[in-house]
Amino acid sequence: MQGFGIHAMMWTTVWDHAGAERAIAGAAHHRQDFIEIPLIDISSVDAKHSRALLEKHALRAACSLVMPEPAWPSRRPDAAIDHLEAALDTAANMGAEALTGVTFGGTNERTGFPPTEAEYDNLTRALGVAARHAKSLGLQFGIEAVNRYENHLINTAAQAVALVERIGMDNVFVHLDTFHMTMEEKGVANGILAARDHLKYMHLSESDRGTPGYGNVPWDPIFAALAAIGFKGALTLESFAAMPVEMAGAISTWRPVARDADEVFENGLSFIRNKAVQYGLA
């Protein structure tokens, strides 16, 4: 994955025909190189329909997910393999280039204790099988570090790198998110430097998950570090400005994070592109 992208949740949280049409047309209208499609309900996705829309709008795609509790790899690796392989098949049928996100667990997965070696063994086995399946389909497979309040297993770039190297597949990459990094890294630039050899995908998300440039994320160190490592991957705007109220509990979004979606499109997208140009990334 390379270029600029935007998360489909700016338009929809339901990937049915109407949601797919709205999101893909919207991403194309805003001149994105690709769209990130969340696979929340794999069984309901019409991959053929999505592929036709992507081809119509000359738009590339990556898919993402968060693992549901019955398929958490740390506890139920066999169920995780089944879920990940189904997601990968759907992504491939859609014409996507990668499956990424919290592929190692859930965003409400915490045992109350530090991760154990047994949990990492289960992750390695399940994600290793999934990565091999991804490779057979020509897909890249990502691992996104998230903050400690969402998951206890992979919080930092260094932990994501360790898991990638433990799996040992050349199609497995690190996915970082600026929202999570501001909580977990000892300097966001250091996280990018730690992941340099494996970093292929960036979520550019503000500290309140609203409009990039309107919060507390240190954008200049982030783009400077990406330039320093010669980053050639995906830069994806992720904002929850258009999140419906019924999704609030899943991501702890209790109040509006931007004036409206148009503010994110008009100000956030231009902010990110300008920073990328400023640091020689575009």
Q: How far apart are the first and last CA of the chain?
A: 14
Q: Cβ(209)–Cβ(253) under 8 Å?
A: yes
Mean pLDDT, the chain, rounded, equals: 94
pLDDT in tens, 209-265: 889 999 999 999 999 999 999 999 999 999 876 665 656 566 666 566 667 778 888
What amino acid positions are annotated as catalytic residues?
144, 238
Average pLDDT over residues 6-27: 94
Query: 251 or 278: which carries more pLDDT confidence?
Result: 278
pLDDT in tens, 124-180: 999 999 999 999 999 999 999 999 999 999 999 999 999 999 999 999 999 999 999
> What share of the chain in percent tops pLDDT 70?
93
pLDDT in tens, 98-134: 999 999 999 999 999 999 999 999 999 999 999 999 9
Cα 155-160-161 angle, rounded to 5 deg: 145
